[in-house]
Amino acid sequence: MAESRDDFIIAIRSAFLKKSTKQKFSLLTLVFFSIFIIVLSSLNFKAISVTKSVIKEIVYRSSFIVSIPENFIKSSYLNLNEYTNFYKDYKITKEELDQLKSENISTKIIKSENEELKSLIDGYTITSNKILAKVIVDHESPFLRSIIINKGSKEKIKIGTNIYDRSYLVGRVIEVNYTNSRVLLLTDLNSNIPVSITPGNVQAIVVGNGDKKGEIRYIKNDLVNKINDKGIAYTSGTGSIFKSGIPVGTVDLKDLSEKILINFYSDFTQLKYVFAEIDELIPAPAENEEKDQIEVSNTEQIKLDIISDELQILEESNTKFLEENQQLNTLTNELNKQIEILKAENNFQKNVIQQHNLDQEELEFLRLNLIYSSKCQSKKLFSTGFKVGTPEYRKCIMQKGKIGD
Amino acid sequence: MIRFQKKNLFYKIYIWLPILVLFLSVFNEFDFNYLNIDYFSFNFPFILIFYFALKAYQRFDYFLVFLAGLVNDTVVGLPLGLSSLSYILICIFATYLRNITISPNLMKDWFYFLFIISLINSINYSVLFLFFSYELDITLFIVNNFFTFLFYIIFSIFFKRYLKSLDD
């Protein structure tokens, strides 16, 4: 028992402390060294940050060079895949292009209006300057999703700078060195994106699932039903982490685990070049009016052109309406006249009919008078008749000589 | 069989091949992510370090392994020093196994390797989650662990051939 314990201790001691001829350090020294570096790297001293930055600069550049053969194989493999789907992709792209062209004009208008409104709200105009950056390292760790780009603090990139693939959001910068930076991709588990989902204008947070998609979390239960399959998710701008209105992806409700997933527009495994958006806040005082006018002149010109076109169309339609209105007025007057003539005719006819009726009644009275006058006239002192010409006499005649009801 | 004349430049490169491959792998990440296989990943440096720390420690400089860890941390974006610690721990466990083993057995080495990588991945996960507040998917760790364990056998065949060629 004691011997086996001794063996164990000897083996442990040998493993930790024994330094063979070719080793510069014992393993225990290296363990302490590692722990020391972990602790040191978590501290935010300037000297440590600079050292870390230098190490990263060297390692990223070296990694880029070392990766060239693997990247060549990778790109060849992807090219081969692309060629097989070339014609199919071409057709889809053509259709998309046609649709995009039609949408482009309205987007321009909305964009210029949006900029104007933002400048009114903030008192600042945000000028976005997108710079092209090359992805120098995209080795995905199975646990962390990030890329390294060849632009850093030298090009005014800061922590939080938004990164795009075309106009789609890819991620944000989480670490900046002098000539390169690390971008946390949207698929990373640590990535949280405040989004609006349309239709329905549902506010939610999209969290990367560590693989290829995002997952919608932090949403009110009663709003879940409002979300449609293929609904569009775009950044809401909440928390000022990402700018608002950037397309993120489409909703995917087909997941078997009943999670609401987001299919990102961009394929993060295929990134070669990305755009980094450098924001500069420029105050808009009256002094810089001339400068501002030049800057916004393009936008204003587009708007003016559109408005003048609209005005022309409105004037043309207005003239048409006026002409139509005049014609209709004339027609109405004519019709009114006709109505009056018809009314007069109608009245005349009514009078004629009335007169005719009266004549008929009078004729009937005269005819009956000839027959029944003897019965209705009062000739003697105690007779029951009526005096000629009175209404009672007329009534008696019309009732064919019957006196009383 | 490859044969070199000793003191030849190629022979020297050939001797340093494990370290060179280690650096290439940490700079380059042998991850095959472009194959788009879900969850598939394995840790090649773990396999290489364990095998050579166990079988050919005379030709394997631990300090360079430590440096490779620092490079890996920088490339992957992990806190600096974490991979170095993992690699050195593998070296320690491999050295311990070597010291207590009289008759080497591939199967024993294989399952001992599984125990070590599981332990080290657990340490990594705990450190990242508890001290650095990283959000991590434990499934990915488990899958990575499993594939690393599986690939050990395949790579050990190649490494054995390499060592044999050196001895010849």
- What's the gap in Å between the CA of A25 and the closest CA on chain B? 7
Question: What are the boundaries of each domain within chain B?
Answer: 9-25+42-167
Residue A354 has pLDDT above 90, yes or no: yes
The whole-number pLDDT of residue B50 equals 93
The whole-number pLDDT of residue B150 equals 92
- B39 touching A (Cβ < 8 Å): yes
Chain B residues in contact with A78 by the CB 8 A cut-off are: 34
Q: Which of A3-17, A21-35, A288-302 has the lowest mean pLDDT?
A: A288-302
Arithmetic mean of pLDDT, A379-396: 77
- Name the most confidently modeled range: A43-57, A332-346, B37-51: A332-346
ipTM above 0.85? Answer: no
Q: Which residue shows structure tokens 């880029």?
A: A64
- A63 touching B (Cβ < 8 Å): yes
- Closest residue in A to B84 (Cα–Cα): A34
Contact criterion met (CB < 8 Å) for B41 and A142: yes
Q: What is the DSSP letter of A322?
A: H
Tens digits of residue pLDDT in A251-285: 887 766 777 888 888 888 778 888 888 876 665 55
The whole-number pLDDT of residue B115 equals 93
Question: Encoding tokens for residue B158?
Answer: 């190649």
Average pLDDT for chain A: 79
How many angstroms separate the CA atoms of A125 and A121, rounded?
10
Question: What are the boundaries of each domain within chain A?
Answer: 126-284, 288-405
More confident residue, A41 or A357: A357
Contact A292, A284 (CB under 8 A): yes
Angle (CA) A30-A31-A35 rounded to 5° is: 115
- Name the most confidently modeled range: A40-44, A312-316, B121-125, B134-138: B121-125
- What's the gap in Å between the CA of A52 and the closest CA on chain B? 8
Question: Encoding tokens for residue A389?
Answer: 């010409």
How many angstroms separate the CA atoms of B44 and B147, rounded?
10
Contact criterion met (CB < 8 Å) for A37 and B91: no
More confident residue, A124 or B54: B54
Portion 346-405 of A in contact with B at CB < 8 A:
none
More confident residue, A384 or B79: B79
Per DSSP, the residues of chain B read -----TT-HHHHHHHTHHHHHHHHHHHH----GGG--TT----HHHHHHHHHHHH-GGG--HHHHHHHHHHHHHHHTPPTTHHHHHHHHHHHHHHHHHHH-SS--HHHHHHHHHHHHHHHHHHHHHIIIIIS-----HHHHHHHHHHHHHHHHHHHHHHHHHHHHHH-
The whole-number pLDDT of residue A180 equals 87
Contact criterion met (CB < 8 Å) for B76 and A139: yes
Residue A355 has pLDDT above 70, yes or no: yes
The whole-number pLDDT of residue A343 equals 93
Architecture of domain A126-284: Beta Barrel (2.40)
Tens digits of residue pLDDT in A23-71: 677 888 888 888 888 888 777 777 777 877 888 888 888 888 887 887 7
